[in-house]
Amino acid sequence: MTKSASAPAPTKPTPKPTSLYLIGITGNVLAQAAAHIRAGYTFDLNAPIDVFAAAGTLGFTLKLGDPEAQFVEAAKTATEEAYAIEQVQQARAIEEAAARLVADRDRAAVKAQLDAKIAEQEAALKALKAAAAAN
């Protein structure tokens, strides 16, 4: 077995500032904030949030630390409510799909009955034409 030419160098953790001010296009800056929040930051509730509606930009400050307990609980409640709504929507979608399948099956059965009657009528008409031609 051969030893690899070079082992990867150990990485040094990047030092984290105690606070960050993020500003940019709203969707981009919120996505960046999500990454920072995963890395241990939370919104600084004592700093103002800057909204520049005309430019579609947003600015706010994040600080190192955990969110307050009330916000953790509010997030948990929001997640539970969103999940409950999603479950209801999925159940409705399943019910609607089942109703469509039943309706399609019923339409197919009616069509098959009508096709059979048409075939009978066409056979009777053909027999009548043959009888009329024979006379």
What pTM did the predictor assign?
A: 0.58
Tell me the average pLDDT across 27-44.
Answer: 95
- Over pLDDT 70: what percentage of the chain? 95
**115 vs 121: CA distance, rounded Å:** 10
First to last CA, the chain: 101
Residue 39 is classified by DSSP as: T
* CA dihedral sign, ordered 76, 82, 84, 90: negative
Q: Which two tokens stand for residue 101?
A: 């399948």
Identify the pLDDT of residue 13.
76
Identify the pLDDT of residue 113.
96
Sequence ranges of the domains in the chain: 19-67
Write out pLDDT tens, residues 86-111: 999 999 999 999 999 999 999 999 99
